Structure formats: C-alpha cells, structure tokens
Amino acid sequence: MNQITTPPRIEIIPASAPFSETQRLWLNGFLVGMLGLDGTTPLSPEQTSAMLGPAAGGDDGEAPWHDQTIPIADRMKLAEGRPLRRRMMAAMAQQDCGQCGYNCNDYSDAIAGKSEARLNLCIPGGKETARMLKSLYEELDKAPAAAPSAAITPAVAVSTTTAEPGRSRDNPIAATFVSRRLLNKQGSEKETWHIDFDLSGCGLDYVVGDSFGIFAKNHLGLVDQIIALLGASHTTEVRGKTLRDVLTEDVSLAPAPDSLFELFSYLTGGAQREKARSLAQGEDPDGDAATLDVMAVLQKFANVHPHPEAFVEALEPLQPRLYSISSSHNATPGKLSLTVDCVRYVVGKRRRLGLASTFLAERINPGDEVKVYVQKAHGFALPPDPKTPIIMIGPGTGIAPFRAFLLDRKATGAQGKNWLFFGHQRSDCDFFYSDELNAMKTSGLLTRLSLAWSRDGTKKFYVQDRMREVGRELWTWLAEGANIYICGDAKRMAKDVERTLVDIVAQFGARSTDEAVSFVGELKKKGRFQQDVY
C-alpha cells in the first residue's frame, strides 16, 4: 500500500508578523514556491527579514509607545527595531483623536501602504511628527518594494459612508451657523462658547460621541498684514484666486513649515541663509523657533520678499479642527451644538489667535455657511444597553460629549443611572450649563453630580480629588457594571484621572496596584472605559 505523507507545513512568516492568517498562509505559499523550498530547511530570521524587509520581524503587535504623555524621542526609542510602519505609528501624537481622519495605527499603515501621501495631518504631533514621518518615509522609499508592502493590509478602505458629503475631512458639506453664547460669567479667566449649527439644510445626522470637523478661515487682519510684508497686492492672482482669498481660505498661517524656511534660504545669503537653513532642519539658532508663525518669519527675514506664488506653495494647507458634539440628534434633530474654548495668547507684542476657536467665537455671523463634516467616533459611545450605568468625567470643555450623552438618554428614555464629574476654575463663573445640569439632577436624570473647582480655594482641587472622596461609591458603580468615560485634556488630566481610578480600584476593590492596573486595562479592552481626549 502506498503511504501518503503530508508535506511538512513550512512556516516562513512567523505568526507574530503583522498579517492576517489568510495573508500569512498566502505569503508562506508564495515564498515557498518562489524559493523552491522543500520544507526541510527552515529560513533563519535574518533570511526572512531580508526578504520581507522590516515589515516582517520585530512586531509583537504591542505598541508600548501608544501613550500621549510620552515625548516623541522616547516613543521612537520604544519603537526601535520595529517595522517601519510601527515606527511611523510611534511618530504620531498617540491621541487617536481622529483629526487626521484615521487613528494613529491606521494613519501610519496608510502611509506605509502608500495609500496616504500627506505626512502633515497629525495636528497634535505638529512639526515634530511631520519631520519624523518625512525621514521615515525616505527609508520607505529605500526599502525593497516587493511582497511585503503589497501584503500589508491596505490602510482603511474608504467606506461608502465616509465618501458621502459631510462624512469625512476630504468631503465636507456646508452647514449653517446659528448662534453663539458665552458660557463663562464675569470674572472668569476663560472664554468658552456654546455654538449652535443648523443641519437641516445639509441633512447631516450624527450620534452622541461623534465629533464635528470645522474648516475655519484665517483672520483677515493677519492676512492683510502678511500681504503688506510681502509687498504684494491683494488682487495678485495665485492658483486661480486672489492672493487674499488663498491666504484666507486655503493655507495655514501658523506655525511656519520647514518648506517656508527652505524657500527663504534660497532667497537670501550669508548669515541669513544659514539661519533659514538651520530652521528648516528643525534647529533653533535664535531660541525663537517655537514662536515662528508665518508672519513672524516674514518679520524675522524682513529683507526677503518672496514671489506670492512661491510663498503660497511653501505653506501648508489649512487643516480642519475637531470639536466634540455637545447635543443629541435624538433630542433636537437637525441641530448641533459645540462647546468651544477660545485660544488667544500673546507672543512678544503680538496677539495670536487660535484659528478655529476664534473663527467660531468672532468671525462668523448667524446665517453664514461653514464647511463641516461629522467625524465618527471609534470607541466612544453610550453603552448599547440603556440600563447600563455611566460615570462621566469631563472638566472644562470635556463636558461637551457628556451633555450630549445626558440629552440623548433623556430623549430615548434610557433607564441607566448617570453620574457626572465636572470641574473648572471657579464655581461662580465657570459652571457651564449649570441650570440644565441642576434641572437634570432635580428630575432624577442625573443621578449624581460631583463638582471640583480648581481656583475657588487656596489649593488646587481637581475632578480626581473629588473622585477620591467618593471612591467607595465609585467602586460600587463599577462593580455593578457601570461604564466610565473621560473627556478633555490629553496631556495631564486624562492620565491623572486614570491613575486615580487605579488607586480607587486598588483601595476599594481590595486589589494590589498591579491587579488594579490590569482591572482598568480590562475595562478598556471590554469597551467599559472610554476616552475622548485632545
């Protein structure tokens, strides 16, 4: 009798490589065929890596750099030896904020897979991220272009939903600005606006947890000063429009991109040229690099007058800004609200304006149309079971999506308990939506409202301090199956609140710190702990 023997299965691509099982099997087969292997001599890791380039090895699927509080240099260290697309991910700001239109992982995959050519979309990462991506991209071009890049999952395919007008930053739609109302009272150091849009004309809808993308326009005063420094005329034609329109609508006027310094280095000589060159390389010859917006560059190199066309080409496209939606489509169909903190600060003698926040605060009028889109939330939503209790922690503008959650739960008659932690600087002038929240408390919709005022007393008191005071009850809610949410500042607040949560779990859940850390990690994995931070 003939004995049938099954050929040994050849494993060239390790199971930990960043491919799906189907892709891995296909690649194994492809390489076996290509190399004529009989399966008796396994490839060394060096051979595998040589064939597949950096994409194959060194990726255990973990992303230890995925923490927005780690500086870029340390993130890149943590990613050393990893495949290029993973190092590209480490270059991102790690906020998964969606401003680029992806999360950090998908954006880097898209660049590595060459389906995304724009390297400057990570707004929180700013120039540091753009520079790092540029140098990694040069490596990508040098890497052998064979099986691996083709085999990497093509980054996020454009779905039919995102292709619809108003569903992505690449395809905005016009919505009508209705009104604005200042949320702070006299005496406040803050300027935060409640903003209303009417969506009935464009037909957009959204679910609570989503964000709203705004394409703002630059301040005309700034544009005109720049035109004067260029020594040009408003009406000079550039890209088929007037220079004034291009500078107002199409390009970013802050911060100055490296390409602008490069342009200036070609147009000047001597010490000025050296200065411009070193700024283009990310150096800081005069210690002012961080403050150089486009106008400050024109002032710094006052004898250089680039041609308007070359000047515009050296600038970056104007990017949209995202805001957490603070209303519920179920409660007020066709209406959308935002809660926007206004960015204004002074550098030297000049007042600087945040682009989109001041556009919403002062540069649009009721009835004006604005280019917008809804950015779908990924992993930030009300629990599917309306009976699930929720704990919401949102100081400052972090209250925005939680106002939306509460309005939505009211509109849909959701039975789950609701607990809001809100905090801000001062109780008498920074208690946003106080009438609404107090009414929700009286009606029973808001089961608990815990407040923390950081500047009422002599010592700072934050939401996490209030959480500690009520740690036992907070633990009881979690043990009963509550979801917990954080919204607001990514750099310090979100981490501090998470640390406090770990402490509360350890203390009242009778766990060691390590056990509490993994308990909180499990909450995240199960979607019971969600964050919308920026």
Ligand X SMILES: Cc1cc2nc3c(=O)[nH]c(=O)nc-3n(C[C@H](O)[C@H](O)[C@H](O)COP(=O)(O)OP(=O)(O)OC[C@H]3O[C@@H](n4cnc5c(N)ncnc54)[C@H](O)[C@@H]3O)c2cc1C
- What does the binding site for ligand NAP look like in residue numbers (CB under 6 A)? 190, 341, 343, 354, 395-398, 423-425, 454-455, 460, 462-464, 488-489, 492-493, 496
For residues 57 and 38, give the distance between their C-alpha atoms in angstroms, rounded to a whole number: 23
Choose, by CB under 6 A, the member of 94, 176, 184, 211 that binds ligand X.
Answer: 211
Tell which residue, 374, 376, 402, has the closest CA to residue 214: 374
Please report whether residue 403 would count as binding ligand X according to CB under 6 A.
no
- Please give the structure tokens belonging to residue 254: 């802050």
Please report whether residue 218 would count as binding ligand X according to CB under 6 A.
no
Indicate the pairing of strand 390-393 with strand 418-424: parallel
The 86-105 contact track toward ligand X, x by CB under 6 A, reads -----------xxx------
Minimum distance of ligand X from residue 211's CB (angstroms): 5
Angle value at C-alpha 163, between 162 and 169, nearest 5 degrees: 65
Minimum distance of ligand NAP from residue 247's CB (angstroms): 22
For residues 202 and 212, give the distance between their C-alpha atoms in angstroms, rounded to a whole number: 14
Please report whether residue 120 would count as binding ligand X according to CB under 6 A.
no
Q: Choose from ligand X, ligand NAP, none: what does 492 bind? Cβ within 5-8 Å by kind.
A: ligand NAP
389 upstream amide cis, omega within 30 of 0: no
Q: Do residues 116 and 104 touch, judged by C-beta distance below 8 A?
A: no
Choose, by CB under 6 A, the member of 176, 357, 454, 483 that binds ligand X.
Answer: 357
3-state secondary structure of 174: strand
Q: Choose from ligand NAP, ligand X, none: what does 279 bind? Cβ within 5-8 Å by kind.
A: none
Instruction: State which residue, 27 or 356, has the beta carbon closest to ligand X.
Output: 356
Minimum distance of ligand NAP from residue 462's CB (angstroms): 4
Minimum distance of ligand NAP from residue 123's CB (angstroms): 9
3-state secondary structure of 276: helix
Minimum distance of ligand X from residue 190's CB (angstroms): 10
Tell which residue, 512, 532, 531, has the closest CA to residue 523: 531
Q: Choose from ligand X, ligand NAP, none: what does 97 bind? Cβ within 5-8 Å by kind.
A: ligand X
Q: Choose from ligand NAP, ligand X, none: what does 164 bind? Cβ within 5-8 Å by kind.
A: none
Residues 324-353 that bind ligand X (CB under 6 A): 324, 339-341, 343, 345
Please report whether residue 397 would count as binding ligand X according to CB under 6 A.
yes
Under rule CB under 6 A, how many of the chain's residues touch ligand X?
21
DSSP string, 1-33: -PPP-PPPPP--S-TTSSS-HHHHHHHHHHHHH
Q: Choose from ligand NAP, ligand X, none: what does 489 bind? Cβ within 5-8 Å by kind.
A: ligand NAP
Q: Choose from ligand X, ligand NAP, none: what does 425 bind? Cβ within 5-8 Å by kind.
A: ligand NAP
Q: Choose from ligand NAP, ligand X, none: what does 356 bind? Cβ within 5-8 Å by kind.
A: ligand X
Task: Encode burial over 381-402: b for 16+ CB neighbours within 10 A, e otherwise.
Answer: bbbeeeebbbbbbbbbbbbbbb
Q: Choose from ligand X, ligand NAP, none: what does 245 bind? Cβ within 5-8 Å by kind.
A: none
Q: Do residues 230 and 306 touch, judged by C-beta distance below 8 A?
A: yes
Instruction: State which residue, 79 or 377, has the beta carbon closest to ligand NAP.
Output: 377
Q: Choose from ligand NAP, ligand X, none: what does 83 bind? Cβ within 5-8 Å by kind.
A: none
Residues 421-460 that bind ligand X (CB under 6 A): none
Chain centroid to Cα 70, Å, comes to 15
Q: Which residues contact 262 (CB under 8 A, 6 or more apart)?
A: 276, 277, 280, 314
DSSP string, 393-452: E--GGGGHHHHHHHHHHHHHT--S-EEEEEEES-TTT--TTHHHHHHHHHHTSSSEEEEE
CA dihedral 480, 483, 488, 490 (to 10 degrees): 100
Choose, by CB under 6 A, the member of 101, 354, 423, 471 that binds ligand X.
Answer: 354
Binding site for ligand X (CB under 6 A): 97-99, 211, 321-324, 339-341, 343, 345, 354-357, 397, 400, 532, 534
